[in-house]
Structure 1
Amino acid sequence: MKAVAVKAFGGPEGLSVVDLPAPEPGTGQVLIAVEAIGVGGVDALIRGGSLPGFREGLVLGSEVAGTVVAVGPDTDEDWVGQRVWGFTGLGGGYAEQAVASVEDVLPLPPGLSAAGSVTLGGSGVVAHFALAHARFRAGESVLVRGAGGSIGILTVQLAAAGGAAEIAVTTSSAARGALLRDVGATQVLDRSGAGAASAYDVIIDVVSGPDVPSFLEKLRPNGRMVAVGAVGGPLPDSLGTALMANFRRSLSFATFSADTVPPADRQAVRVAQFAAAAEGRLPVVVQAELPLDDAVLAHQQLQRGEVFGRIVLVP
């Protein structure tokens, strides 16, 4: 089968199309003939060598959708023939076939495309539980930093649906700002957050990096900031100093990973969000569907910050 592997850590040019044997599902696993693959920020971090524990030769990709064509030992054969979304772990998804555990697979409801499911499946869970982690309540103001990707867009949508009084976003252009207003943003800022008209109760940060302390200053007393991504780099050493300098304002900073959410809770949220998307109540934003052979191009666009929503690879 055709797959895309990391031949050399670094830039997008380190990705290469390779031919590999089709994987075999193990106990409790299904084999999926892949129709759509989500391209995400974690893929870029792994490809760039920023995350430890990975070796060259790894097939990228954690989120796929398609049709189950086989099951492993002690696995319900009723899965065969079902169109599903599946989480493959931190690898194995950029391929024509992929395996996933049945605990990480969901049937696609009628009306939800394969591309739509890989736009929503991982990012929607992060957005939902990040807002919960920040103890967001109706009537509060929210700032989404780095709102142009699928996590940011879904955070804007969910905050709007949850009754946010104001939703500010940081993004790279006026055109993106207009698109973000279409999904619920009420205030558009540049990447630095300059020009903020008010302070915020909650900040959901997809970017991280050296500018995090400056965004702490945009919180109201008792404000909460939650980092859900690190596309801008690691948190700076000055973060602790900034928190202590604002001691009397009782600010909170936290990181959040969906890995800390029980699998059953993640799946329950996905079921609800998939149904909402299928019914048109939660629009999904897919920027483009590219052939699997164009994985380098997809990662180049991701690296240049040109993606609004999700890029999807199609075998």
Structure 2
Amino acid sequence: MKAVIMQAFGGPEVLTVQDIQLPEPGPGQVLVKVKAAGVNFMDTGVRRGLGAAWELPMTLGVEGAGIVLATGPQVTEFVAGDRVAWHYVPGSYGEKVIAPVSQLVPLPDDIDFATAASLMMQGLTASNLVDKVHRIQPGDVAFVHAAAGGVGLLLTQMIKLHGGKVIGRVSQADKVDVVLAAGADYVVIGRAHNIAGQVLRLTEGQRVNVVYDGTGSEGFADSLSLLDYFGTLALYGPFMNPIPPIDIFSVPRSIKLTYPSVMHYVREREVLLEKSRQLFAWVGAGKLKTVIGKRYSLEEAGQAHRDIESRNTTGKLIIVP
């Protein structure tokens, strides 16, 4: 089988397609034919060697959807032919992947594989942000950075589903329409570090209840300044520009600052199944829509990384093996 392999850390050029042999699935595992894999900023961080002590060579990718080909010992939840999706199974940039049953969810017949691969990681991340991190109440005003990205578009829709109002930020004018189509009440254009004044003029000086910020240090100061008393600054994602140490006594207005992990949100299998079913139900009912920005082959994985790091894309990027 073919997979995207990297032998060294570095730029997108380290990603190459090679033939590899997977082992037979072990206890609690299944072999899955990957029909679509999601591209995430997390993948670019792993490619550069950030975070954990990654072992090389390795296959990138963690998110996807596909069909069960074979099951290992002690597997009773799935059989060959079942449609499944996952938010975290390392090695997903390949034609096949060995997946632990604990990470798989059943994929309804009315959800196609590309939609599922564009929904799992970012959909569960957005669900966590509007549910556990800051439970959106009717009338809450939320400011969403990078609103035209995969997480941003899902966040915008979920905030509206919970009765909140959304001010979205995009970096350029050609991204405005897709954010408005997702339900945003207002969209502002500008860089993350130079946006607070524009937002406060829009709200006539009223600060917001929550800021969802995946920009890292670039937008941190403006995000803080936009928060009302007891507002929440929810940081998410692997940051290309890490935030420097914070003087806690300089933080204004009794705010809450959090950097949540989607892994903690769905650490129990029952919650993973419940939240995934909710995402699929919203999609099936037309209440939640994914936007696929571009599809790539395995051979184009390096270009997918260049595109997502450029921050000039909209929606979700996926790899179709």
Normalised TM-score (structure 1): 0.93
Counterpart of 2:273 (choices 263, 267, 270) is 267
User: Shift in Å at residue 42 of structure 1?
Assistant: 0.4
User: Shift in Å at residue 241 of structure 1?
Assistant: 5.2
Q: Which amino acid aligns with 1:253?
A: L
1:233-252 CA-partner distances (Å, limit 9, x unpaired):
22222463531xx2xx2111
Answer yes or no: is 1:29 the counterpart of 2:29.
yes
Q: Do the aligned partners of residues 309 and 111 (structure 1) sit closer, same or farther apart at CA in structure 2, a change above 3 Å counting? A: same
Matches within 5 A, 1:219-230: 219-230=227-238
Q: Which residue of 2 aligns with 1:112?
A: 111
The whole-number CA distance in structure 2 between the counterparts of 1:211 and 1:64 is 30
Counterpart of 1:292 (choices 291, 298, 307) is 298
Q: Which amino acid aligns with 2:224?
A: L
The whole-number CA distance in structure 2 between the counterparts of 1:50 and 1:183 is 32
Answer yes or no: is 1:257 the counterpart of 2:261.
yes
Matches within 5 A, 1:70-109: 70-76=70-76, 78-89=78-89, 91-109=90-108
Q: Is contact 2:213–2:219 with CA below 8 Å preserved after alignment? A: no
The whole-number CA distance in structure 2 between the counterparts of 1:230 and 1:215 is 17
Q: Which amino acid aligns with 1:234?
A: P
The whole-number CA distance in structure 2 between the counterparts of 1:55 and 1:232 is 21
Answer yes or no: is 1:55 the counterpart of 2:63.
no
3-state SS of 1:136 partner: coil
The whole-number CA distance in structure 2 between the counterparts of 1:77 and 1:130 is 29
User: Shift in Å at residue 210 of structure 1?
Assistant: 4.3
Answer yes or no: is 1:125 the counterpart of 2:131.
no
Q: Which amino acid aligns with 2:287?
A: R
Q: Do the aligned partners of residues 258 and 138 (structure 1) sit closer, same or farther apart at CA in structure 2, a change above 3 Å counting? A: same
Q: Which amino acid aligns with 1:15?
A: L
3-state SS of 2:5 partner: strand
User: Shift in Å at residue 56 of structure 1?
Assistant: 3.0
Deviating beyond 6 angstroms after TM superposition, the runs of 4 or more aligned structure 1 residues are none
3-state SS of 2:74 partner: coil
Q: Is contact 1:151–1:206 with CA below 8 Å preserved after alignment? A: no
3-state SS of 2:311 partner: coil
Matches within 5 A, 1:170-209: 170-189=169-188, 190-192=190-192, 193-194=195-196, 195-196=198-199, 197-198=202-203, 199-209=207-217
In structure 2, list runs of 5 or more residues that go unmatched: none
Query: Cα RMSD over matched residues?
Result: 1.6
Q: Do the aligned partners of residues 159 and 136 (structure 1) sit closer, same or farther apart at CA in structure 2, a change above 3 Å counting? A: same
Q: Which residue of 1 aligns with 2:148?
A: 148
1:101-132 CA-partner distances (Å, limit 9, x unpaired):
21211222122110100111111111111122
1:209-239 CA-partner distances (Å, limit 9, x unpaired):
2431221001111111111113342222246
Q: Which residue of 2 aligns with 1:215?
A: 223
1:247-290 CA-partner distances (Å, limit 9, x unpaired):
xx211111110111233212211111112213322111111221
3-state SS of 1:79 partner: coil
Normalised TM-score (structure 2): 0.91
Q: Which residue of 2 aligns with 1:135?
A: 135
3-state SS of 1:160 partner: helix
3-state SS of 2:277 partner: helix
Q: Percent identity?
A: 30
Q: Which residue of 2 aligns with 1:311?
A: 317
3-state SS of 2:45 partner: helix
Q: Do the aligned partners of residues 216 and 292 (structure 1) sit closer, same or farther apart at CA in structure 2, a change above 3 Å counting? A: same
Q: Do the aligned partners of residues 176 and 239 (structure 1) sit closer, same or farther apart at CA in structure 2, a change above 3 Å counting? A: farther
